[in-house]
Structure formats: structure tokens, C-alpha cells
Amino acid sequence: MLPAPDSWPTQLDTRHSLLLVDDDAASVQVLARMLSGLGELRFALSGEDGLRLARESPPDLVLVDAEMPGLSGFEVCAALRADPRLADVPVIIITGHTEVAVEVAGFAAGASDFIRKPPVAEVVVARARTQLRLKALGDALRASALTDGLTGLANRRRFDQDLRLECERARRGHESLALLLIDVDHFKRYNDRYGHVAGDACLREIAAAIRGCIRRPADLAARYGGEEFAVLLPQTDAAGARAMAQRIVNAVADLALAHADATPSCLVSVSVGWAAARPDLDASVVLTRGESLVEAADRGLYAAKAAGRGRIGEASEAHAHA
């Protein structure tokens, strides 16, 4: 009698997460023994359960049997490729077939590689390691392409991508979405007096302060452009947005960075505009891919600056200072 899945081999190394999907528990156990040194292993005995586990916590590699009751390995692979969060996860299909047509169908579904049955340990480990290395390289390249080189925050491209995704996610989940736009007050004067090297150092310190205010993995801090930053806050209402905006203003003030041309404090400060919306109740947020939310936060930023800078503002206040 096979031991329960909880007692199957798990890991010697937790750097990677591997998901094994096969309706045959004995086959899963064999593969688990072969792959136990590559990372944390999770198991599913059906294609449906495999997809559920992958969506709950995206793995670094999926190994899936080609033929299973319900969803086949090819269907699991296609479903993974159709999910934006899982599209880059490599998938190795395990099959006993040798026909070219099977491989063609697998690659058409998005498979990264194949393993023949019965599996040979050295081949399984070599192919899995290759896919894990390729995944790590791809992740590093994607992260570099979406990261601001000066501050280490997300760049504008990443922000725009996440804004669109979060607007749609908030609409489907009937949730609130909040956005902050942050501008460094009198930053041109700072550069003129202290030089661009000091200006870059100032932006890095402010970015670190903003990052320190972010508490949840889903929240995104980005460099929006020049001396402007943005913070995207899923599942956050107006009260939460207002509180985060004030926290960031206070965090930058606590840096106590000298700015001789900033009156009256002679310290670096930021102005923050905030906005929150329910995309399911405000169709314009989704239709404009979040641009209407950006416009509302920008009006709040204008209000904060018009009221004296170094403070927060919301769109409704902009009219009072027009």
C-alpha cells in the first residue's frame, strides 16, 4: 500500500518549487524520489487539482502526465499558458508515446520539453534542471526590464501593466483599488543647488522610504517618471489610501534631507495625491485601463501642491484651489 502523499519525499533544497501532476500515485512517488534534491515538491493526482495548486502558488516547474482522466496533460499545459501569472512557468509533459504527432501536439499546447516513460532518473533530473535554469534566467531578464535602474522600484512599464491587471481583477472581485501619485517638491531647485549626483541620491532615499511604507506583497511602488512616484494599492478603499498617503509624507519628512531652497522647512518634502475607486461600479476605470484613476490621483496631487506642498490631497479638493 502506498504511503499518503504527505509522507512522500519533499525536498533537500527549497530554492525551487516543483509541481508533479499525475493520476497514478505510484508514478508520482517515483518522480518525487528522482527530483527530491531540486526543491520543494507538490503533488496533484488530477489535472484539475494541478491547475488549482498552480494558481494558488505559481511553481517554478510543472511536470504533468500526458494522459489523465478529466483534463489531459496537454489541456493542463494550455490552461497554464492562458493564465498571465503562469504563462512563463515551464511545463514538461511525461508520456509513453513516441509518435512525432504527440510531441507536435504538446509543443502546440505550450510544452517546454518531454520525458519518456519509463523515466530515467538522470534524464529526468537533467531536463528539470535545464528548465529551472532557463526559468531563472527568464525571470531575471523580465525583472530587469520592469525595474527602474536608479531606485530599484518598478518602472513605468511595470506600473502600467499592473494597473491594467489590477483594474480588471478589482472589477471581477468587486473590490476597491487605490492609487497614489507622489511628487518631490521643488526638485528642480534641489538639482540646481546640489547637483544631479546629489539629486539621484535624494531620489534613492525617497524611493527607499516609500518602499518601507509598503506592507503587502500585492502593493506596488513604482518610479512614475523623473521625480514622480506611484503606489498601486489593491483591495484598498479611500480611508486606506488616505492613510498610506499620509504615511509616505511623514516617512519622507523623517528623512530630514536638507533643501535650502524649500520654504519654509528647508527640508525635502513630497506632495501626494490619492484616489480610490470600485472598478465594478465605475466603468470608466476599466474602459480607460485605469487612466481615469490616474487622472483623479493627479488632481489630488495638484490640490496638495496648491495647498502648500508637503501634504496629501484628493481630487475633490482640486476645485477649491483652481
Catalytic member of 40, 166, 227, 314: 227
Rounded to 5°, the CA angle 109-111-115 comes to: 130
Distance CA 193, CA 31 (A): 64
Cα Dmax for the chain: 78
- Residue indicated by cell numbers 512614475: 224
Give CA separation, 111 vs 42, 142, 153, 207, in Å.
19, 20, 33, 40
Distance CA 66, CA 43 (A): 15
- 17-21/61-65 β-pairing: parallel
166 annotated active-site = no
Across 138-148, b (16+ Cβ under 10 Å) vs e yields eeeeeeeebbb
Looking at the annotation, which residues are catalytic? 227
